[in-house]
A = this chain, B = another copy of it.
């Protein structure tokens, strides 16, 4: 958003939340509250737009996704109405943020992962609910391109994190949750942390600035096929915790909650395709990104405690 404005573009930002709950409101953008799952809202939301970044979905971390499968599938209304509206308004380029959750769970059962290449999505067995909606909409994007000529571009996001994102309330993802827990420990002086699972599950995490750059690149690019957009710096959740501890200058006793949602056992992004096509891949290190994120989350925790 900030980046698009900096480029001199006219920006309309739409979110279902009331504006006082937005993490960022840019006064230079047109800022609307609307429920894009409704056809009328999608139609008026895309009116006059030449480019659409379709990032809207009911989502959250594993705790949310595993307990809200029907709700996650209902995002298909937003996905479908936005495609219809973009096509009706003659939008020039349409970006859809898909997810690493489209990948078959059977290929993610080991912490020592083979990174996922784009073709691994088929034959399909995505994450229940959320992943199915993402994969279905990827395919709809393809058919809107082939059948209706709408220029659609799809990125498969792998675990985006950064400041100005959900950090509490049940929908936050691992990096924000870990930052919050360690900030709370640091502030309270009670140095322990609850970790979902045994902490050995692995992931890669992409800092928001890489995500912003990569998304615009993919939208402007020529690949009609979905492309991984993720960091290939693989860490375990335990390593993630250690990095944040170092940033915070605390060390916490770790309590492992073995019954908590954990998602797949291991997942990394194979960046061969994005490198081939664009000669680029996300490169901001987890240590650098988490330093920014921790500082912001720490402020939120401080502020929320009055």
Residues of A in contact with B (beta carbons under 8 Å apart): 38-39, 68-71, 73-74, 76-77, 80-81, 84, 104, 106, 122-125, 128-129, 132-133, 136, 139-140, 143-144, 146-148
4 more A-B residue pairs beyond the given contacts A70-B148, A74-B84, with a C-beta to C-beta distance below 8 A: A73-B139, A76-B140, A123-B123, A128-B139
Q: A74-B80, A84-B74, A124-B124 are in contact. Are A139 and B132 (CB under 8 A)?
A: yes
Residues of B within 8 A of A74 (CB): 80, 84
Closest to A147 in B: B70
Which single member of B106, B146, B147 contacts A123 (CB below 8 Å)? B106
Cβ–Cβ contact A76 & B70, under 8 A: no
20 A-B pairs in the complex with CB atoms less than 8 angstroms apart: A38-B39, A69-B147, A70-B140, A70-B143, A70-B144, A73-B80, A73-B136, A73-B140, A73-B143, A76-B136, A77-B77, A104-B123, A106-B123, A122-B125, A123-B125, A124-B125, A128-B139, A128-B143, A129-B143, A132-B139
Kindly state the separation between the CA atoms of A77 and B80 in the bound complex, as whole angstroms: 8
Kindly state the separation between the CA atoms of A241 and B139 in the bound complex, as whole angstroms: 36
Kindly state the separation between the CA atoms of A148 and B67 in the bound complex, as whole angstroms: 11
Cβ–Cβ contact A71 & B147, under 8 A: yes
Cβ–Cβ contact B80 & A76, under 8 A: yes
Kindly state the separation between the CA atoms of A121 and B153 in the bound complex, as whole angstroms: 28
Closest to A106 in B: B123
Q: A70-B148, A74-B84 are in contact. Are A132 and B136 (CB under 8 A)?
A: yes
Residues of B within 8 A of A124 (CB): 123-125
Cβ–Cβ contact A147 & B68, under 8 A: yes
Kindly state the separation between the CA atoms of A251 and B219 in the bound complex, as whole angstroms: 57
Kindly state the separation between the CA atoms of A69 and B104 in the bound complex, as whole angstroms: 23
Kindly state the separation between the CA atoms of A74 and B132 in the bound complex, as whole angstroms: 16
Closest to A81 in B: B77
Most buried by B among A84, A129, A136: A136
